Amino acid sequence: MKISFIIPFHNEEKNCQPMLKKVLEFAQKQKFSYEIIPVDDRSTDKTKIILRDFASHNKHIKPLYRKDDKEEKGNTMGKALLEGTMKAENPIIIWTMGDLADDTKTYLDIIEKINSGFDIVFGSRYMPGGSRGNLDLLKAFLSSWGTRMAQFFFGVPVHDITNAFRGFRKEIITHLELKSTGFSISPEFAIKAHLAGFKLGEVPTVYINRVEGVSSFKLFKMTKNYLKLYLDLFWQFNILQKSAYQ
Ligand SMILES: Nc1nc2c(ncn2[C@@H]2O[C@H](COP(=O)(O)OP(=O)(O)OP(=O)(O)O)[C@@H](O)[C@H]2O)c(=O)[nH]1
Ligand SMILES: [Mg+2]
């Protein structure tokens, strides 16, 4: 089994080391062939130094330090995840967050489900058995509604597509034209994969709210970006495609 873990980091000096240790421990225990690709953007704290140090002692850790592009001022987690995925050498990819939000126990369930024939498998907080843990109520409400809207408008068959935590066959991403640069990458990837006919699955996970570090999440901007994404996709796939066949 060959797995690539992609982990986005932005100013996570307190979480970076425990996160890498957590993934390393899991991968070594399972005896996978694995690589870990931390992707850093514009960190101004010690994140980069910690990543460099880890990488110099472990050949499985292959960090990417994204260039400080002048146009890239805001959140670029989407670009980071996509670039990390493109660099990955293994056929199964896991996106897992650098602030320790994802339960390690879920990794194995995701991998098993992919091996049973699913193309993309989500760590789901909102399916039976999953939990939003200590995530605050407003964020939980918005993130669950983000998926409900995608279920309603696009027939997405899973319960949590706003969580970036997921695993997938690397090959599928080469068939999708993903444009989101920030957090919207999570629903965009899910909706486009579904509309392209890929098989979506989910496994329950328990979300762990960050204890250390500062959130990059901006509620108003995020809500606006999600709504814009859904409108664009709805227009593209329901209106334009239907009219093409009339
Ligand atoms: N490479 C990269 N990583 C980012 C960027 N913004 C956030 N991240 C990382 O992406 C992950 C998710 O971002 P968070 O800030 O935790 O966003 P969130 O989970 O919605 O919010 P909280 O957990 O409540 O803080 C974390 O590991 C961040 O360090 C970015 O612009 N580039
Ligand atoms: Mg987080």
Q: What domains, with CATH codes, occur in the chain?
A: 2-245 (3.90.550.10)
Instruction: Take atom 25 of ligand 1 and give the residue whose Cα is closest.
Output: 215
Residue 54 and residue 61: Cα distance in Å, rounded? 7
Residue 91 and residue 208: Cα distance in Å, rounded? 27
| DSSP type of residue 86 | H
pLDDT band (50, 70, 90) for residue 237: confident
pLDDT tens, residue by residue, 105-133: 999 999 999 999 999 999 999 999 999 99
CA dihedral of residues 126, 144, 164, 103 (deg, nearest 10): -30
Mutate to test the pocket of ligand 1, among 79, 216, 222 (most ligand atoms within 8 A of CB): 216
Closest-approaching ligand to the CA atom of 214: 1
Percent of the chain whose predicted confidence (pLDDT) is above 90: 80
Instruction: For residue 163, give Cα distances in angstroms to 57, 141, 185.
Output: 31, 13, 10
Instruction: Take atom 27 of ligand 1 and give the residue whose Cα is closest.
Output: 98
Residue 243 has pLDDT above 80, yes or no: no
Q: What is the pLDDT of residue 240?
A: 63
| DSSP type of residue 148 | H
Residue 15 and residue 214: Cα distance in Å, rounded? 11
Residue 145 and residue 72: Cα distance in Å, rounded? 28
Compute, in angstroms, the gap from residue 184 CA to the centroid of ligand 1.
Answer: 12
Compute, in angstroms, the gap from residue 210 CA to the centroid of ligand 2.
Answer: 6
Percent of the chain whose predicted confidence (pLDDT) is above 70: 94
Instruction: Take atom 13 of ligand 1 and give the residue whose Cα is closest.
Output: 216
Residue 32 has pLDDT above 90, yes or no: no
Written as six digits, the tokens of 111 are: 């991998």
What is the pTM assigned to this prediction? 0.95
Q: What is the pLDDT of residue 245?
A: 47
Cβ(146) – ligand 1 distance below 6 Å: no
pLDDT tens, residue by residue, 46-61: 999 999 999 999 999 9
Residue from 174, 172, 163, 239 nearest 203 by CA = 163
Residue 39 and residue 7: Cα distance in Å, rounded? 6
Residue 128 and residue 216: Cα distance in Å, rounded? 28
Residue 244 has pLDDT above 60, yes or no: no
DSSP SS3 for 66: strand
